[in-house]
Structure 1
Amino acid sequence: MNTISIKRVYEPEDATDGFRILIDKLWPRGMAKAKADIAFWAKFIAPSTELREWFGHKPENFPIFVQKYTEELEDNPETEGFIALCKRQLKENNVTLLYGAKDEVHNQAVVLKNFIETKLKTT
């Protein structure tokens, strides 16, 4: 079975990345589109601007961010289609969720990966 992983978009592409999806609402600073080697930009799956700005990448806000972003994912009409895309890709490739944040522990990719994996186990 192929896997879902997360990675900073600034890290070089690796042969094991498989299908690379940018999950940020905004294009990463200083990253040329040609250099990013992204298969799909899923800005619709990113946290809302209000939630992202409130979170501010502050680790102390992360527990509440997880709860609120999970609620947004549950309410997002495009989430089901995004999970279906990931599921299709996982049949042939690994899926790598790309994000721009510096903090590798407290970011939306961590939340989204767990959310997708939980949904895939229940379908």
Structure 2
Amino acid sequence: MSVRVRRIYDPPEPDDGLRVLVDRLWPRGVAKDAAHVDKWPKGLTPSTELRRWFHSDEGSYAEFRGRYEAELGAPEAAELLDGLRESVRKGPVTLLTASKKPEQSHASVLAELLEG
């Protein structure tokens, strides 16, 4: 199946499939009804501490990825990840983020885990 990452600010497309917001906070300037978000599993997002650490430019993306994958091993996150994997088996899933660099964000880590 197909998993892709897009910015929430991009308009929805017909082939998006299930649209999942993977940010802990609702993106600024985006109306909830216009975003067409189907799911918002906040438990899959990086912890506040990890986000702050990563955005402080203290560590590398590789280190962020390792720390984030460790957080995804927690019971709640693992359960949500399994549920999202089930959705991927049923059809296309688009992970939505407000990140300016989605290719170097938690959303891309999730996409790789879901496809693997």
Normalised TM-score (structure 1): 0.84
Amino acid at match of 2:94: T
For residue 106 of structure 1, report the CA deviation from its aligned partner: 1.2
Contact in 2 for aligned 1:57/1:106 (Cα 8 Å): no
Query: What is the aligned partner in structure 2 of residue 67 from structure 1?
Result: 66
Structure 2: 5+ residue runs without aligned partners? none
Take 2:82 and 2:108, find their aligned partners in 1: how far apart are those partners? 19
1:24-63 deviations in Å (ceiling 9; x for gaps): 0111111111111000111110000000011007496211
Structure 1: unaligned runs, 5 residues or longer? 119-123
Q: What letter corresponds to residue 100 of structure 1 in structure 2?
A: A
How far apart are the structure 1 equivalents of 2:92 and 2:57?
30
Retained in 1: the 8 A contact 2:72–2:78?
A: no
Q: What is the DSSP-based 3-state SS (H/G/I as helix, E as strand, rest coil) of the residue aligned with 1:64?
A: helix
Q: CA RMSD in A?
A: 1.8
Equivalent residue, structure 2, for 1:19: 18
Q: 1:8 corresponds to which residue?
A: 7
- Sequence identity (%): 35
Rounded to whole Å, the distance in 2 between the matches of 1:57 and 1:24 is: 18
Indicate the residue corresponding to 1:44 in structure 2: 43
Letter in 2 for 1:40: K
Which letter maps to 1:107? Answer: S
Give me the TM-score of the superposition, normalised by structure 2. Answer: 0.89
**Local SS of the residue matching 2:51:** helix
